[in-house]
Structure 1
């Protein structure tokens, strides 16, 4: 009798809950981009997907050719006040100095060890990469990945107090999921480190490691003392996947011109030019950081503060307008920025 009553109670509860759950599912299906405000930017995405995936449309794209590429820093997650990978590299300075004490009085180590973030933020990319080259030289790819994973598990962003992998833009996650649901294969094409991004790309973005194209260091084939083969990182750059390198990287690592590309800075210009120069309907998008309250505001396009991290010039802004690329205003186009908002 007890079990019969229990089944009745459960059934009644399900009848109460299911309409609500079904309504929520239906609402999400009706709006695949719930974190986007209604307007021209959202409409351009919906129209692009509809026209390129509907059989019979003049802009129909065969499933095998549906390629979408995304920059990472500033496009998929926060890049200010400094790129996340740079923060990881800076964390290795103490380890390097412990092995090479004389480096403590040399730049960029002297500045990093000072802890003065204003001075550290002015270090050039080449200076920061010098630390990376020394710190990772000779490491196996597996050892490097394990070290990155360990750092990401404990490091916290000082503004939000959250892991860096939580600072992902929810609207962009929805966009990638929407594209994939309609047959598009999503790639990350980044000026950041290829191996660095591969450590979390699948768990964070749902993008497998083989769909990550980024800046990479050379490797050397070696054997450990037990005779096991491995790849050891070397102190020279193999491929610089930024600016024109992004278009070349697409050709090298993907082999097809994308129909969709999204970026946020001058480093993404050539990727969007390459994408939108192809035949048929293409869509280029640029994330514009104009929301200092919920995230950051920088340009210097449209009079926003100038920055060396994720530079978005007025020239790029004007090119986007002239070529009908969509400019995503974080302030106006996004209802929420992070999942935790």
Structure 2
């Protein structure tokens, strides 16, 4: 079978491309097809680390920030952390008989996801606060870890941690190998991500920034604990990402990578300085992953995509045509 037919078969079957099916260098970012985005990454790292060039960035200033949902792993049909929260409502229902008649919990128990989303942001926050609070951080993370061991994505029948993007993991490692300090800056819950992301991405807990509930410290008769409360501490989305980067990192990143308008402010802020770059994962592959942008309620990409088409240092990563492998 010739190369062209092999590519066509892979597309039709929904399989991930191999390095043999596309122009993929097995020695350099092997899951990326040779093309615009891969060239941009390699050139940016070269320009940033070459002391002989005006674009050189000192090591202490090589800060890269990545969104998580839709950027480092999938986010459809809805955020994976929400899938955890919905399962937790069902697990906790025996302790809350009032949920049988109380929305949005009633709809969750009836598997009526459409009605859950019809409740808007308030309904989702009610679900998250109910299932993510009233326990110590350690208890919460143990519950998340146990869920991740058994839960599977309904479309791909894979563990959620198996649905991280191989090209993006390679990009993170490539940056780290060239002395970039990589942070996750996500709208997802910080304690949720810190349970599994350090092992999966090789990014330590202290370099993970996300949304969070308030905490309460208690000495607890010589057994100190930190408990998650049912109140919002921070929503790490849109302008909130910039504010949390400033608060926690304390300097502008030089590279920002996202996939939606929720990352727009972070990318604008990072690229408001010389020798900077932004990249957007554009979901164009309905066979191997998902296809969505402007009209999607999850991962809505509109204004940021328009700006990417106007800026020389912003790049749209075409998942379908630039990734040899997705997962």
Do they superpose with TM above 0.5? yes
Matched residues in 2 for 1:285 and 1:92: separation? 34
Contact 2:116 2:123 in 1 (8 A): no
Matched residues in 1 for 2:235 and 2:184: separation? 14
Deviation of 1:332 after TM superposition, in Å, equals 1.0
If each structure's helix is expressed as a fraction of its own residues, which one has the higher value? 1
In structure 2, the partner of 1:281 is 275
Contact 1:82 1:121 in 2 (8 A): no
In structure 2, the partner of 1:246 is 241
Matched residues in 2 for 1:262 and 1:99: separation? 41
Matched, 1:132 2:120: no
Deviation of 1:43 after TM superposition, in Å, equals 0.8
Contact 1:221 1:231 in 2 (8 A): yes
From 305, 313, 317, the counterpart of 1:328:
317
Q: Spell out, residue by residue over 1:123-152, the C-alpha distance to the aligned partner (whole angstroms, 9 max, x if none).
A: 533312212212333210110010000101
Deviation of 1:202 after TM superposition, in Å, equals 1.2
> What secondary structure is seen at the aligned counterpart in 1 of 2:184?
strand
Q: TM-score, normalised by structure 2?
A: 0.89
Contact 1:189 1:241 in 2 (8 A): yes
Matched, 1:159 2:155: yes
> What secondary structure is seen at the aligned counterpart in 2 of 1:293?
coil
Q: Give the aligned length.
A: 303
In structure 2, the partner of 1:319 is 307
Matched residues in 2 for 1:84 and 1:294: separation? 18
In structure 2, the partner of 1:47 is 43
Pick closer, same or farther for the CA change 1:137–1:318 going to 2, 3 Å: closer
Matched residues in 1 for 2:188 and 2:226: separation? 20
Matches within 5 A, 1:228-247: 228-247=223-242
Matched residues in 2 for 1:245 and 1:307: separation? 21
Deviation of 1:323 after TM superposition, in Å, equals 1.9
Matches within 5 A, 1:200-279: 200-224=196-220, 226-278=221-273
Q: Spell out, residue by residue over 1:28-69, the C-alpha distance to the aligned partner (whole angstroms, 9 max, x if none).
A: 998421111111111111110000001111010111111100
Matched residues in 2 for 1:137 and 1:191: separation? 17
From 144, 156, 163, the counterpart of 2:140:
144
Matched residues in 2 for 1:138 and 1:223: separation? 16
Contact 2:117 2:124 in 1 (8 A): no
Matched residues in 2 for 1:92 and 1:217: separation? 17
Deviation of 1:223 after TM superposition, in Å, equals 3.5
Q: Which blocks of at least 5 consecutive residues in structure 2 are unaligned?
A: 1-23
Q: Which blocks of at least 5 consecutive residues in structure 1 are unaligned?
A: 1-27, 301-305
Matched residues in 2 for 1:127 and 1:205: separation? 31
In structure 1, the partner of 2:174 is 178
